[in-house]
Amino acid sequence: MASFSRLVVVLAALLSFANAISIASTKYYNISNDVEGSVHLNGLAFQQNALTTFGDYQYVAFYKTASGYGKHYVNLGRRRIAPSLGDWQYFSFTDYEQTTLDEHNTISLGISGDGKIHLSFDHHDVPLNYRASTSGVAKTIPSEWSMKSFGGTVQHSLPGSSGPWTPLTYPRFERLANGDLLMEFRIGQSGAGDSYIHRYSSTSGLWSNVGKYLQGQDNNAYINGFTSQNNKLYVSWTVRETPDASTNHDFYFALSEDDGRTWKATSGSTVAKPITPSTAGIKVYTIPQKSEIMNQEAQTADEKGRFHGLMRDKTSGTARFYHYLRTASGTFSKTAINAPGQSTPPYLQYRGKLAAKGDSLVAILPDAPKNTVNLFGATAGGNYQDWKLLATITNMAGEPQVDEERLAQSNTLSIFVRQGGPFGERKVQVWDFELQL
Ligand SMILES: *[C@@H]1O[C@H](CO)[C@@H](O)[C@H](O)[C@H]1NC(C)=O
């Protein structure tokens, strides 16, 4: 018996050695002063994305004070990241002033395969706001970086496609393998809304309506993300009954093998569109209301066909972050993330993100009581339970964003964060972590 327990100790030590993920170097960049006021407009979990890469350039979208309190411009930054690192360049869209002090009204940024940059911003149950570059500025890189590359005024529909375009919230962009770009958003309200997909063709330069894919039943889906990987489109969500966040319940999942036209339950069976909360096979985990689920936490998918979700709940009596894993063969598991040193997440406090590379997974978890963001790594070899602390960023007050494209093409995990502290000192930043895998 004694030698058996010694063997267990040795095996456990070997397993912890198997988690080879570490960070070789770290660098950060101040992007801008954050905007004035207590409202967060930079760094919210449902932005998709604030930070992204296309080819040799990285792009960041953020709000910056235009003049005085509560007046902001959409800003777009770029820098070369390969073959060598260039300086950040920024410009403001001075023809549109953002004035609604509301945390929903973030910016999302997407880049289609033709190199056009698409932006959507400033929504909470209002008509679509959209603008795109007039040419493929991410492909044929102009020396001048200015709003001249973007067409006229803000548009309230997607050219070529059909609505509804209002009341709209939470625009997200996701590029497909062939270069086309999907756009996803909610039409309706918290507690009563539907989710729609549109598709931009990189060949015709026009949008088309893929259709409504999630439909509320006097409630609404809050998606954890909208993820395309290896020609599969993954979505997972919780459902909200009323505007009150305590009515979030359950974990749902669906995948599409035709870019959102038709959908399957986790079992592989095709389901009718639009999917509703009562569609058979769609609910994967039952989690009652009042379990302190935070809607729109995070998800990702890795190159090996695994889906990873992040959602917290208090079903064990203590609020915990959970890793939802769907293996390539379609088996789901839900495991509490034992992240060493991480505080219990306070109700409704900052949401995290996941980033996957090969057999490694990084959970980027805000620790609100300590005003930090912690990066924890786990590996397939450790059944994604070998979480270890990789890095801590101090003086944080917001929700991190991940540059998934950059991580896909390199070992650099680049994240966008918002600092804590007073206006004038508080910055939005990009942090680069060189991962060793
Ligand atoms: C970021 O801004 C802070 C405050 O102004 C400054 O102390 C720091 O040196 C800056 N860091 C970099 C890398 O520019």
- By DSSP bridging, strand 207-215 and strand 220-229 are unpaired
Residue 86 has which token pair?
């260039």
- Per-residue pLDDT at 67: 93
Mean pLDDT, consecutive 10-residue segments, the chain of 437 residues?
Answer: 52 59 98 95 98 98 96 98 97 97 97 98 98 98 97 93 98 98 96 95 98 96 98 97 97 98 98 98 98 98 98 98 98 98 97 98 98 98 97 98 98 98 97 97
Calpha distance 430→30 (Å, rounded) = 7
β-partners of residue 264 are 255, 270
Calpha distance 238→251 (Å, rounded) = 5
Give me the phi and psi of 141, to 5 degrees please: -75, 115
- Per-residue pLDDT at 3: 52
Calpha distance 287→285 (Å, rounded) = 6
- Per-residue pLDDT at 191: 84
Closest CA to ligand 1's atom 6? 30
Contact 407, 413 (CB under 8 A): yes
Query: Which helix (H) or strand (E) element contains residue 322?
Result: strand 320-326
- By DSSP bridging, strand 51-54 and strand 320-326 are unpaired
Q: How many angstroms does the Cα of residue 373 sit away from the middle of ligand 1?
A: 18
Closest CA to ligand 1's atom 11? 30
424 lines ligand 1 (CB under 6 A): no
| Positions of E strands within 231-306 | 232-240, 248-256, 263-264, 270-271, 283-285, 298-301
Residue 51 has which token pair?
């930070």
Calpha distance 315→275 (Å, rounded) = 26
426 lines ligand 1 (CB under 6 A): no
Q: Which of ligand 1's atoms lies nearest the C-alpha of 429?
A: 1
Closest to 418 (Cα-Cα) out of 402, 400, 432 = 400
406 lines ligand 1 (CB under 6 A): no
β-partners of residue 334 are 324
Q: CB under 8 Å to 393, separation ≥6 — which residues? A: 28, 372, 373, 374, 417, 431
Mutate to test the pocket of ligand 1, among 28, 29, 30, 31 (most ligand atoms within 8 A of CB): 30
Longest Cα–Cα distance of the chain, Å, equals 76
Give me the phi and psi of 58, to 5 degrees please: -110, 145
- Per-residue pLDDT at 152: 80
Q: CB under 8 Å to 353, separation ≥6 — which residues? A: 45, 298, 310, 363, 364, 399, 400, 401, 402, 415
- Per-residue pLDDT at 137: 98
Q: How many angstroms does the Cα of residue 53 sit away from the middle of ligand 1?
A: 24
Instruction: Write out the CATH class of domain 23-436.
Output: mainly beta
Helix and strand element counts for the chain (H, E): 2, 29
Question: Where exactly are the structural domains of the chain?
Answer: 23-436
Q: How many angstroms does the Cα of residue 30 sit away from the middle of ligand 1?
A: 6
- Per-residue pLDDT at 98: 98
427 lines ligand 1 (CB under 6 A): yes
What is the C-alpha end-to-end distance of the chain, expressed in Å? Answer: 36
pTM reported for the whole predicted model: 0.95
